[in-house]
Amino acid sequence: MNAPPPPLLVPQADPGASYRAQAAEIDRAVGRVLASGWYILGGECAAFEREFALWQGQKRAVGVANGTDALALILRGLGLGPGASVVTVSHTAVATVAAIEMVGATPILIDIDPLHYTIDPQELEAVLADPPPGLPPIRAVIAVHLYGGMAEIDAIVAIADRFGVAVIEDCSQSHGAMWRGRKCGSFGTAAAFSLYPTKNLGALGDGGVLTTDDEALAERIAALRQYGWRERYVSDLAGVNSRLDELQAAILRVKLTGLDAANERRRAIAAAYDEALAATPFAPPARRPGSTHVFHQYVIRCTDRAGVQARLRAEGIGTGVHYPVPVHLQPAYRGRIALGPSACRETERAAREVLSLPMFPELTDAQVERVVIALRALR
C-alpha cells in the first residue's frame, strides 16, 4: 500500500489568508455596512468605484456582480451581440468566452505566444485580414493579461485600430500590471476585472469591476447593470441585474489599500523561485521587457507535469494547472468554435505542460524557503 501523502504545508492558493491579514479592518468595514441598513448600490460601492478608478488612473469604474458580467456588460455597452464576432484566446478562464456567448456574439479563438501565454499578434493580424468564412464581422478583440503578465497590448491595439476593431482588456488576473509605467486596462476601450476571492484584488464572495475613460459608455453600463434604469423604475435600456453589493465593496476598499504591497510581495516570491530554478532544467516565467508583472500565478512548463507535481506533493507543496483543457476542447465548445490559422497549436501544448507553483502574498518566508528547497532538488 502507498503511504498517505504528507499534510499540505504550502497550499497553492489560500483565499482565507487574505482575510486574516486584514481581519480587524475588514470586520470593522463589514460591521459598518451591516449597521447602515443599506446593502445594495450605496456609498460603499460609489466610494470603491472612485477609489479604484483613481488607483487605475482612469476616469470611471463601475462595480458589477462578477468578472464574467463585467466583460459581458462592456460588450453590451458597446452594442455588440448577435451579428458580431469577438476574437480572443482559448488559453484563458472559460469565463472570457462565456461572456461573449452570453451577449449572443460569436467567439473566434486564436493562438497564444508560447512565452507569455497571451494573444499572438501575428494570429490576430491574420484573422482580422482573413476572417473565418460564414461568421458575423469581427467587431472586438478581448486581450487577456494572463497570470499577471501583460499581453503585447501596444501591438494588439495598433493592429485592432488598423482594422477598426475595439480592444477590451480582460484584467481579471492582472490588477496592477503595467507596461511602460501605464496600468493594464487603460490601453483599450474598456477593461474588465474579476474580484473573485483568489484574484490579486479579491472580494470575500463574488465581485467585478470595469473601467473606461469613455464617460458615456460608463453611464450606459451603469444603467445596464440595474434593469437599464437611468432613474428609479424607468428602464431606458433592456438591462440585467449585476450589482456589486455594499458588503463586498466595503471589503474591497480595505483590500485595495493593500494591493500594491501584495503585488510587491508576489514579485519577491517570484524572484526567490527564479533563483531556485536557475540550477534546474525549468525556465522561470518570461517577463515582457518594459512591463511590471504581478504574478497572479507563477507558471513553469514541464513535459512530465504529473511527475513534477508528485515530487512537490511529496514535500507537502501544492500545485495547480491553469488550465488543463483549452476552451475550444471543453465539452460545451468542442467542434463548434472557429479557431485562428494555427488551430491553437501552442495553446494545446501549453495546456499539457503548464504548472502553477504556490503563489499568494501571505506565503510566509518559511513556506517560500520550503518551495525553494524542493525546486532546487528538481535538477
- In the sheet that 291-292 helps form, which strands lie side by side, from edge to edge? 182-183, 178-179, 291-292
Query: How many residues does the structure list for the chain?
Result: 379
Q: Which stretch binds ligand PLP (CB under 6 A): 22-30, 93-101, 241-249, 364-372?
A: 93-101
Q: Is 90 in the site for ligand PLP (CB under 6 A)?
A: no
Q: How far is CA 239 from the centre of its chain?
A: 25
Residues 157-186 close enough to bind ligand PLP by CB under 6 A: 170, 172-173
Which of 86, 93, 159, 223 lies at the binding interface for ligand PLP (CB under 6 A)?
A: 93
Rg (CA), the chain: 21
Characterize the bridge pairing of strands 106-110 and 85-89. Answer: parallel
Q: 182 - beta bridge partners?
A: 179
- The single-letter DSSP state of residue 239 is -
Q: Is 58 in the site for ligand PLP (CB under 6 A)?
A: no
| Nearer residue to ligand PLP within complex by CB, 58 or 66 | 66
Q: 180 and 126 in contact (C-beta within 8 Å)?
A: no
Q: What is the largest CA-CA distance in the chain?
A: 68
Q: Which stretch binds ligand PLP (CB under 6 A): 49-57, 91-99, 182-190, 209-217?
A: 91-99
Distance CA 121, CA 151 (A): 9
What DSSP line would sit under 8-74, residue for residue? -SB-S--HHHHHHHTHHHHHHHHHHHHHHT--BSSHHHHHHHHHHHHHHT-SEEEEES-HHHHHHHH
Q: 251 and 24 in contact (C-beta within 8 Å)?
A: no
Least CB distance from residue 174 to ligand PLP, whole Å? 8
Q: Which stretch binds ligand PLP (CB under 6 A): 46-54, 56-64, 92-100, 331-339?
A: 92-100
Q: Is 95 in the site for ligand PLP (CB under 6 A)?
A: yes
| Nearer residue to ligand PLP within complex by CB, 123 or 169 | 169
Q: Which stretch binds ligand PLP (CB under 6 A): 61-69, 210-218, 267-275, 309-317?
A: 61-69
Q: Which amino acid is located at 84 in the chain?
A: A
Q: Is 248 in the site for ligand PLP (CB under 6 A)?
A: no
Q: Is 67 in the site for ligand PLP (CB under 6 A)?
A: yes
- Label residue 43 exposed, middle or buried (CB < 10 Å: 0-12, 13-18, 19+): middle
Q: Is 96 in the site for ligand PLP (CB under 6 A)?
A: yes
Q: 150 and 119 in contact (C-beta within 8 Å)?
A: no
Q: Is 347 in the site for ligand PLP (CB under 6 A)?
A: no
Q: Is 68 in the site for ligand PLP (CB under 6 A)?
A: yes
Residues 103-162 close enough to bind ligand PLP by CB under 6 A: 144
Residues 186-215 close enough to bind ligand PLP by CB under 6 A: 194, 196, 208
Q: 226 - beta bridge partners?
A: 241
Least CB distance from residue 133 to ligand PLP, whole Å? 28
Q: 107 and 141 in contact (C-beta within 8 Å)?
A: no
| Nearer residue to ligand PLP within complex by CB, 94 or 372 | 94
Helix (H) / strand (E) containing 47: helix 43-56
Least CB distance from residue 65 to ligand PLP, whole Å? 8
| Nearer residue to ligand PLP within complex by CB, 209 or 375 | 209
Which residues of the shown chain bind ligand PLP in the complex (CB under 6 A)? 66-68, 92-93, 95-96, 144, 170, 172-173, 194, 196, 208
